[in-house]
Amino acid sequence: MKPPLCLVCGLTGSSTQFTLVRFAVNEQEKAAFARRAASRLVGHPESAYWFCAEHLHFGTERQSMHWRDAIADILAVTDRHTRRPPGP
């Protein structure tokens, strides 16, 4: 699993609360995730993204959307938000 890094602002670190939002996947992706789980491969799912408390609403409002559509929509809506450089 990737460490917390807000998709919207780039905030990271342990001093802030982060929530992992899982977006919708299609049937092909569900099958691929099941195959990975069965083979005991680990990793961060493509359909899950971290959000800081301030920007969580961007993710939860779009949870039912396919992850690619949701991410594209979030980035389009938040393109003017200040992106913080990674790091504490």
Q: Over the stretch 19-62, which tens digit does the pLDDT of each residue have?
A: 999 999 999 999 998 888 888 877 888 899 999 999 999 999 99
Q: How many domains does the chain have?
A: 1
Q: What is the pLDDT of residue 88?
A: 44
Give me the percent of the chain exceeding a pLDDT of 90. Answer: 58
State if pTM tops 0.85. no
Across the strands, what pairs with 19?
Answer: 51
**Which two three-digit tokens encode residue 87?**
């790091």
CB atoms within 10 A of CB 59: 23
CA 71 to chain centre: 8
Domain holding 61, by residue range, is 1-88
Give me the percent of the chain exceeding a pLDDT of 70. Answer: 89
The span from the CA of 69 to the CA of 74, in Å, is 9
